[in-house]
Amino acid sequence: MIHVIEPTLSSEAGHCSSLVGALSQANIAKNPMQLWMDRSASMKFDSAIEPRRHFIRWLRRPQSFLLFRRLLRQPGKIFVSTASLTDLRLFALAAREPVPPLKAYFYFHWMKPSASKMRRLKHIASSQPNITIFGSTPTVVHVFQEAGFARAQVIPYPISVRRAGATAHTPEFNHLLFAGAARQDKGFRHIVDLVEYLHARRASIRIKVQVSGAHFGKYDAETLADIKRLNAIQYPYLECLTETLTVTEYEALFVNAIALQLYRRADFLDRISGVTLDAFSGGCPVVTTAQTWMARMVDRFDAGLATAETTPAHIVTQIEQIIGHYHRYATNAASAGRILQQEHCASALYEALTHD
């Protein structure tokens, strides 16, 4: 039994769902998995996954602590699929004594180190030397190795097969797209600035903007102000997407689009973006911030443009360049999607979890 713990998973939206789906597809042997998720979740799963609707938003930290204690007394493996330092600390408190090897696995998609975090990580590494750490990039893994975790390895961020590679349509530009949660680290302010600029220029470029929040629809004050500003612009070619989308609806957003990922450089220097993977899988070119993981993928495949400048006027020139050569950029993006599907196959994660 593998106990997959994903407290914030409540719908098909976001990449928690995608990761679990990819892991399920890689489970060829149909080993039993229990998925511990938000109590309000209503999704359907493969027969090998037993959904356990467990977590309540305001109680998930004490619930995680109690669940760790409970599962540590049972057979099976514990896998926290979107781990944080808080998860590690709660687990160490619940375990009390060192757990045996091949019992507990934590997958970190990113880790921004600091002196205080390193002190906590070193303490946990000394008290729990047998915890297995997965990291999505070498930089993430290096943080844990420096802290003393001997069992730390790179596992590429898995792409669900249903999101990969299929671009049977003829590439023809239709719209700009901001996909995913509306957050400041994802450059939402730049998107609102761009819409204001397009409206002031009386442009006629269509743009679709997802304005969903992060986990449980939460927004910070700055993002709420940006959403209010966006709604007041009245740009006639703007479509704000406020409802949770199905997987099919979400994937359709990338068809004949240009994805805008003007993410904060400091936060995404070596942090993998699921939106980029989804965009390439849909044959969608990307405009993104220079010196980020997304920029390296864009440059590697010539599947869009990376820019150090995020002013609206400059972004429009980038957009116009891609529109002028849309077939080439979109074809390259589709090729990137097929290649990255192989490089980010979920079988690596599945094999690491089931290895004895």
pLDDT tens per residue, range 66-84: 999 999 999 999 999 999 9
Q: Are 263 and 311 in contact (CB under 8 A)?
A: no
Lowest mean per-residue pLDDT among 92-96, 157-161, 174-178: 157-161
Q: What does the pLDDT read at residue 116?
A: 94
Residues of the chain above pLDDT 90, percent: 66
Average pLDDT value for residue range 40-53? 80
pLDDT of residue 214 exceeding 80, the answer is no
Q: Show the tokens assigned to 126.
A: 């000394």
Contacts of residue 294, Cβ cutoff 8 Å, sequence gap at least 6: 261, 263, 268, 273, 276, 286, 288, 306
- Identify the CATH number of the domain in which residue 139 sits: 3.40.50.2000
Q: Are 331 and 302 in contact (CB under 8 A)?
A: no
Q: Are residues 93 and 229 in the same domain?
A: no
Q: Are residues 14 and 133 in the same domain?
A: yes
Q: Are 107 and 155 in contact (CB under 8 A)?
A: yes
Encode pLDDT of 224-241 as tens digits: 999 999 999 999 999 999
Q: Are residues 123 and 231 in the same domain?
A: no
Encode pLDDT of 93-126 as tens digits: 999 899 999 999 999 998 888 999 999 999 999 9
Q: Are residues 16 and 30 in the same domain?
A: yes
Q: Are residues 6 and 154 in the same domain?
A: yes
Q: What does the pLDDT read at residue 77?
A: 96
Contacts of residue 132, Cβ cutoff 8 Å, sequence gap at least 6: 101, 102, 104, 105, 106, 151, 152, 153, 352
pTM, two decimals, is 0.86
**Can you tell me the distance from the alpha carbon of 259 to that of 175, in angstroms, rounded to the nearest whole number?**
9
Average pLDDT value for residue range 5-16? 76
Its domain, for residue 176, covers 162-342
Q: Are residues 216 and 185 in the same domain?
A: yes
Q: What does the pLDDT read at residue 225?
A: 93
Q: Are residues 200 and 253 in the same domain?
A: yes
Domain count for the chain = 2
Beta strands in 81-230 (DSSP E): 104-108, 132-135, 152-154, 175-178, 207-210
Q: Are 283 and 259 in contact (CB under 8 A)?
A: no
Residues of the chain above pLDDT 70, percent: 93
Q: Are residues 135 and 273 in the same domain?
A: no
pLDDT of residue 217 exceeding 70, the answer is no
pLDDT of residue 49 exceeding 90, the answer is no
Encode pLDDT of 181-190 as tens digits: 889 999 999 9
Q: Show the tokens assigned to 256.
A: 């004949």
Q: What does the pLDDT read at residue 161?
A: 63
Q: Are residues 107 and 251 in the same domain?
A: no
Sign of the CA dihedral with 10 first, then 13, 19, and 21 last: positive
Residue 257: exposure state from Cβ atoms within 10 A (0-12, 13-18, ≥19): buried
Q: Are residues 171 and 318 in the same domain?
A: yes
Q: What does the pLDDT read at residue 167?
A: 52
DSSP string, 211-248: ---SGGG---HHHHHHHHHHHHH--TTEEEE-SPPPHH
Question: In this structure, what DSSP letter does residue 292 have?
Answer: S
Encoded amino acid at 184, one letter: Q
Encode pLDDT of 193-203 as tens digits: 999 999 999 99
**Can you tell me the distance from the alpha carbon of 156 to that of 153, in angstroms, rounded to the nearest whole number?**
10
Q: Are residues 88 and 201 in the same domain?
A: no
Question: In this structure, what DSSP letter does residue 346 have?
Answer: T
Q: Are residues 169 and 245 in the same domain?
A: yes
